[in-house]
C-alpha cells in the first residue's frame, strides 16, 4: 500500500543522488565482472548475497517475515527486475561497452511514462507527450542504426535489443510496484525481491550451462572488488533507495536517474575502463533530453 505521508526533502534528494551517481558507476563494475564471470551467474551472486544480507538484517531487527502474498508479489517483480532487466543487462555488457549500455537504458523514462499511462492510469497521452515520446524513441533508433558513418565499431544488435527489453521490463515493474502487496518496510521489500531474484538468476545460469568451465579460483581480485561494489553500493544501498523513492515519487520522476546514469557511466568507462567516448552517445542523449523537456511541459 502506498504511503500518504511526505518524507523530508533532504531524504528525497539524498535518495535521488544515490540512484543517479552510484547506479551510474555500476555499469563499469558490471563490465569488469563479466569479463571473468558468466553474466547470469555474476548477477545471481550479486543479488543473492545482497538479498540474504538485507533479509537477515531485518529479521534480526525483529521485522516480521513477509506474508505469502507479499512473497508472491516480490517474486513477480524479481522476474521482471532481476531476471529480465539485470540478467539481460549483465549479458549485454559482454557485447557492448558499459557507457553504451547506460545510454541505451536512457529509454527507461520513455517506457515509464507509457507504463503510467497504460498500467497506473496516472497520466494521459496528450499530443505533446506523444511527440516527446517519439523523439526519445528516435534517439534510440539512431543509436542502434549500423549505418551512421561516425567511424565507430557497429553496435551489437543482440546486445542493443536485450537492453531495450531490459528497459521495458524495468519500467513495467516500476509501475506494478505501486499496485502489488509488498512489505511496508522498504528494506525488507528490497531484501526479498533481491533474494528471490538472486535465486532465479542462479537457476537461469545453471540452465544456460554457465557453471560448466567456470573456476572460481581463476577470478581476479579486480573482479571480486567489482562484485563487492555491486553488492554493497549498487544493491544494498542504491536499490533500497530506489524502492523507497518509488513509493514516494511518481515512476516517471524516479526514472530521471536514467538521464544522469549515462553521463556517469560514460565518464567512468572513459577514465577508468579505457572506453572511447563516441558521438553516438551524444546523439542518443540529445533524444532523451528532448523527451525530458517535452514530458515536463
- pLDDT tens digit at each of 297 positions of the chain: 444 456 688 889 999 999 999 999 999 999 999 999 999 999 999 999 999 999 999 999 999 999 999 999 999 999 999 999 999 999 999 998 888 888 788 888 788 878 777 776 666 667 776 776 676 666 655 655 543 333 455 678 899 899 989 999 998 998 888 889 999 998 999 999 999 999 999 999 999 999 998 999 999 999 999 999 999 999 999 999 998 998 888 877 888 887 788 889 888 888 887 776 655 444 444 444 444 444 443
Q: Cβ(240)–Cβ(190) under 8 Å?
A: yes
CA 24 to chain centre: 10
* Ramachandran sector of residue 62 (left: φ over 0; alpha: ψ -120 to 50; beta: rest): left
Rounded-to-integer distance, Cα 185 and Cα 200, Å: 23
Q: Cβ(173)–Cβ(73) under 8 Å?
A: no
The residue behind cell 569488469 is 32
The residue behind cell 505533446 is 128
Rounded-to-integer distance, Cα 4 and Cα 25, Å: 32
Burial of 41 (0-12, 13-18, 19+ CB in 10 A): buried
Rounded-to-integer distance, Cα 201 and Cα 65, Å: 23
The Cβ of residue 1 has, within 10 Å, a number of other Cβ atoms equal to 10
Q: Cβ(189)–Cβ(183) under 8 Å?
A: yes
Cα-based distances in Å from 113 to 40, 81, 89: 29, 17, 21
Domain ranges of the chain: 9-296
Query: In the structure grid, which three cell numbers stand for residue 148, read together?
Result: 551512421
Q: What pTM value is reported for the model?
A: 0.81
Amino acid at each position: 500500500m502506498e504511503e500518504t505521508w511526505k518524507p523530508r526533502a533532504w531524504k528525497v534528494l539524498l535518495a535521488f543522488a544515490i540512484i543517479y551517481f552510484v547506479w551510474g558507476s555500476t555499469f563499469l563494475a558490471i563490465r569488469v565482472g563479466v569479463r571473468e564471470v558468466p553474466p547470469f551467474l555474476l548477477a545471481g551472486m550479486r543479488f543473492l548475497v545482497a538479498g540474504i544480507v538485507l533479509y537477515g538484517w531485518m529479521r534480526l531487527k525483529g521485522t516480521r517475515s513477509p506474508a505469502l502474498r507479499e512473497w508472491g508479489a516480490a517474486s513477480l517483480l524479481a522476474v521482471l527486475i532481476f531476471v529480465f532487466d539485470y540478467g539481460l543487462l549483465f549479458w549485454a555488457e559482454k557485447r557492448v561497452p558499459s557507457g553504451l549500455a547506460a545510454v541505451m537504458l536512457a529509454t527507461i523514462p520513455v517506457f515509464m511514462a507509457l507504463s503510467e499511462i497504460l498500467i497506473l492510469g496516472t497520466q494521459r497521452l496528450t499530443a505533446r507527450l506523444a511527440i516527446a515520446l517519439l523523439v526519445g524513441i528516435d534517439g534510440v533508433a539512431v543509436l542502434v542504426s549500423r549505418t551512421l558513418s561516425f567511424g565507430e565499431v557497429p553496435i551489437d544488435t543482440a546486445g542493443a535489443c536485450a537492453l531495450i527489453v531490459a528497459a521495458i521490463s524495468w519500467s513495467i515493474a516500476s509501475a506494478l510496484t505501486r499496485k502489488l502487496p509488498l512489505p511496508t518496510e522498504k528494506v525488507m521489500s528490497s531484501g526479498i525481491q533481491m533474494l528471490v531474484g538472486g535465486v532465479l538468476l542462479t537457476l537461469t545460469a545453471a540452465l544456460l550451462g554457465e557453471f560448466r568451465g567456470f573456476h572460481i579460483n581463476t577470478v581476479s581480485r579486480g573482479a571480486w572488488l567489482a562484485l563487492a561494489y555491486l553488492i554493497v553500493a549498487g544493491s544494498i544501498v542504491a536499490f533500497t533507495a530506489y524502492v523507497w523513492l518509488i513509493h514516494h515519487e511518481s515512476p516517471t520522476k524516479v526514472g530521471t536517474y536514467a538521464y544522469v546514469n549515462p553521463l556517469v557511466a560514460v565518464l567512468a568507462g572513459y577514465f577508468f575502463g579505457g572506453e572511447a567516448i563516441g558521438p553516438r552517445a551524444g546523439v542518443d542523449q540529445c533524444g532523451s533530453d528532448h523527451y525530458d523537456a517535452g514530458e515536463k511541459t
